[in-house]
Amino acid sequence: MNEKVLVLLIGTNPLPNYVVGSYLKENYNKFVLIYSERNDKINQSSTKDYAEKLKEHLDLNNNCVLLPLSDISNPKSIRNDLEIFPKEKIDEVHLNYTGGTKTMVAHVYNFLKEKFGDKFNASYLDARSYKLVYDYNEKDIILKDKIKIDIKTLLSIHLYDKDVSFEIYDTYSYKQKFADSFDNISQEIENAIKGGKGEEFLKWLEDPFRKIFKGPDKILENKGKFKQHIDNLSEHNCLPIIKFNYYTPNFIWDILNAFPEGKRINDGKNLWIPDDSISNTLFSDRIKDTVKFLDGKWFEWYVYNEIRNELLNRGLQEGKHFGISLKARKENSPNFELDICIIMATN
């Protein structure tokens, strides 16, 4: 059987290749992924890892050839590297040139057109219209609603496949931390925002809340450091403590008192100060989660809770197309985090 070959140029943005490959792969029985290999002499990085991930997630198996280019800025070098292009009897070669550099595109395109003549066709994915645009004959195809991708696959093809985690409504970690009180906390915050007090709440969070709880390192883990921080505020700038104790609005007391008693940063209508008998562990267990939630997690949850039903009504699947508190990492890189992740998918 003669070969029908799909050629993809692999750069550092693999998503267009995934979309095009997913749509076109059923029409081809051979695949060539052209990538740049590492070349320290010219400061060229490798895109081989992206090519391998695409091969895996497009399920191309043994029908796929990875073809490296040693110098993607050198036309002669590119043509020399392309000489190893499959030489079987070929009925069709289709190049999608959405990925890769302009030099790669120009010289791979010309090489394949010269080599295969009328058997050659090409296309690119227009990022603005979501259309697969053909160079010859074929009608443009809108791919926006034809190809689906889930969160984990999207992360993986971008090489963020280490320590991937995200949460959903039922398993949200702060629901576990605050147990039966969580719904009351959420309701009090929602009442405040929808009652027109959101701006006042944000101002209170900035001062006095963060002035008190965003101090020196580890004040949320060490009772002594926290008390020293409070003493310093009392001596040099007592306004945050005065604001907390005497000027906190009643609706904010309602929010603070909605937290479990063992998780409150307040004692009645005063700032809670640990006594000498409490251990660092118990001290941290009481305030750390509450401070983190009030410092920003509450807003993450509020937005997620507001949009969740709409996303479900649009046919998106929670845990597949959207989630909360996403974390992922790729090799030798810092963590990647998103408060809320959504991949739009329509039926």
What pLDDT shows up at residue 101? 87
CA–CA separation, 187 and 69 (whole Å): 58
Q: Is 165 exposed, middle or buried (0-12, 13-18, 19+ CB in 10 A)?
A: exposed
120 and 184 belong to one structural domain = no
Is there a domain that residue 83 lies in?
A: yes
Q: How far is CA 313 from CA 301, 305, 343, in A?
A: 19, 14, 14
109 and 188 belong to one structural domain = no
Is there a domain that residue 329 lies in?
A: no
**Final residue of a structural domain among 147, 170, 203:** 147
Is there a domain that residue 47 lies in?
A: yes
What pLDDT shows up at residue 335? 84
What pLDDT shows up at residue 119? 94
CA–CA separation, 27 and 226 (whole Å): 65
CA–CA separation, 319 and 168 (whole Å): 6
Backbone angles phi, psi at 338, to 5 degrees: -135, 135
pLDDT profile of the chain (347 residues), mean per 10: 91 95 95 95 94 97 93 92 85 94 92 94 93 86 89 95 91 96 98 98 98 92 95 91 97 99 97 96 98 98 96 93 94 88 71
Is there a domain that residue 155 lies in?
A: no
**Final residue of a structural domain among 124, 147, 170:** 147
What pLDDT shows up at residue 347? 42
CATH of the domain at 105: 3.40.50.10770
142 and 221 belong to one structural domain = no
Considering only CA atoms, which of 95, 55, 101 is closest in space to residue 77? Answer: 101
Beta strands in the chain (DSSP E): 3-10, 30-36, 64-69, 90-96, 120-126, 131-134, 141-142, 162-167, 266-267, 270-271, 322-329, 336-342
113 and 194 belong to one structural domain = no
Domain that includes residue 246, residue range: 180-300
Q: Is 181 exposed, middle or buried (0-12, 13-18, 19+ CB in 10 A)?
A: middle
218 and 270 belong to one structural domain = yes
Considering only CA atoms, which of 183, 163, 187 is closest in space to residue 175? Answer: 183
CA–CA separation, 269 and 275 (whole Å): 17
186 and 108 belong to one structural domain = no
188 and 120 belong to one structural domain = no
10 and 143 belong to one structural domain = yes
28 and 110 belong to one structural domain = yes
The position carrying tokens 């039926």 is 347
How many domains, the chain? 2
Is there a domain that residue 269 lies in?
A: yes
208 and 132 belong to one structural domain = no
- 230 touches 241 (CB < 8 A): yes
191 and 105 belong to one structural domain = no
**Final residue of a structural domain among 267, 284, 300:** 300
90 and 205 belong to one structural domain = no
Question: pTM for the full model?
Answer: 0.83
